[in-house]
Structure 1
Amino acid sequence: MSDLETVSFPNQTDFLAESPKRQIELIPQLIKSGSDGLAILTGFLDANRSSITANLVTAKAYQVLYQANTWETKEILAKYFPQGMIPLASERNIDYEPLQQLLLKQDFQAADSLTRVKMCELAGVAAIKRKWIYFTEIEQFPTTDLHTMNQIWWLFSEGKFGFAVQRKIWLSLGQDFVQLWPKIGWKNGNEWTRYPGEFTWDLTAPAGHLPLFNQIRGVRVIASVFAHPAWAEKS
């Protein structure tokens, strides 16, 4: 049985006909199957070359090509994604490239820690020194920066993680934080999930599990993130 038979489809046409969810599942297998699989993937990218956008399928292709780190995959990245996956825009000159690198590698625990660092950088010198943020500081965050952090979390987690995912779940629960905590795996019964060992640092985690917010000081910080006008602009 050939590698392509193992991944259950023999050609580019069949891959293009698959659902986005199935394409995401198949991309890692394509790359592992060698040159034939890479040919199918580049055929997919060619078919969408004039309108390659940052969606979950192209993000998965970018991520797995990046992780493979061979001369062939580097050439494909340079050809189809010369500017990277998305522009890492910031209104306050924050460098989000290290965060993107961690999420590309699916090092979710390190990415979670760095997200808190970046939010302190956004809040300013005082927040950097104290290593945590006030809810009033989040109210002043630029929309651009929240979108950048959210997008790279969402894209490189197959749509499972990010502020907008958390907010959507919260809204579906009638904006009830008590229901939100167990839903996203931050609480089990009456017990808070303990950091870091009891959190799930991979894609088996429930949707909305990451990034984390410390609830010791209450819900005002995460509520400020959810209430930020950034999300209304995207609705």
Structure 2
Amino acid sequence: MIDPKTADLPDTTSNDIAALRFKFESGSPAGQLQLIPELIQAGESGLEVLMEFLLQSKSNPATLVAFKAYQTLESANSKVADEFLQTHFPNGIVPLNSERGIDYTPLQQLLKKQDFLSADRMTLQKMCELAGVDAVQRKWLYFTEVENFPIKDLQTINNLWFVYSEGKFGFGVQHEIWLGVGKNFLKFWPKIGWKNGNNWTRYPNGFTWDLSAPKGHLPLSNQLRGVRVIASLLSHPAWSNKSPES
């Protein structure tokens, strides 16, 4: 007798799984993203493919594919998946590396909830911590402090924004847009929704704090003291490597 709970599920054979595994492992990032729903439909066997993928990419898992795989396992209602994530990724999918002992866990927690307004404020706080006691007290940055930020820390902050926004936000995204407009800030600001004509977007209500925002909209940088801080940030050597792959 057919169990009505499983009557509509596909009959996934070992050959089906083997074919899906091969397509996923050999596919491009875009192709892998398209295959994840098929792996979900394959049940526990499909989840195993995603778990193997995450283990293999654990040394550098800050990609959209890894994030989607992690997100899928987290919401799969599977004891095996839950135990896997708790064992291998207890602090989330992005390695929270810091050369100066900064704890980026609070930022990750806010981004994980997609509380982008609070995450934006936390980002400034963490960057001030990175700059030192004087910056923490004044609550803003000098461009010379930004120039001396460790690559590892900036990449950690960027990777958190990138993966939890599904590739839409982050300094690396802003860097690519800035290069695309020839480093022209007059073109850059409207492109990412910080200015409309002669009018600056008003903080906080004028900004869009969800994924409907323009690409590169977040995180923010204070322009009241000129462009030297954001110019130092967008030209930092942290972006000499490519942004996390899509």
Whether TM exceeds 0.5 here: the answer is yes
Counterpart mapping for 1:52-201 below 5 A:
52=58, 53-54=60-61, 55-66=63-74, 71=79, 73-78=81-86, 81=89, 84-201=92-209
Q: CA deviation at 1:87?
A: 2.3
Q: 1:47 to 1:140 in 2, by over 3 A?
A: closer
Structure with higher Rg: it is: 2
1: CA distance, partners of 2:75 / 2:205 = 26
Of residues 100-109 and 162-171 in structure 1, the stretch that sits farther from structure 2 once superposed is 100-109
Bigger shift: residues 102-111 or 158-167: 102-111
- Bigger Cα displacement from structure 2, 142-151 vs 45-54: 45-54
Shift of 1:189: 2.0
Once the two structures are aligned, what percentage of the paired residues are identical? Answer: 56
Taking the aligned partners of 1:141 and 1:134, their CA distance within structure 2 comes to: 11
Aligned length: 226
Alignment counterpart, residue 232 of structure 2, candidates 224, 227, 234 = 224
Unaligned runs of 5+ in 2: 1-6, 11-15
Report the alpha carbon displacement of residue 41 of structure 1 after superposing the two structures with TM.
3.1
Q: Are the aligned partners of 2:20 and 2:39 in contact in 1 as well (CA < 8 Å)?
A: no
User: With CA pairs under 8 Å and 6+ residues apart, which has the higher RCO, 1 or 2?
Assistant: 2
Across the aligned residues of Structure 1 and Structure 2, the Cα RMSD in angstroms comes to 3.0
The residue number in structure 2 matching 1:40 is 46
Which protein has the bigger helix share? Answer: 1
TM-score when normalising by structure 2: 0.78
Q: Structure 1: which 5+ runs fail to align?
A: 5-10
Letter of the aligned partner of 1:186 in structure 2? W
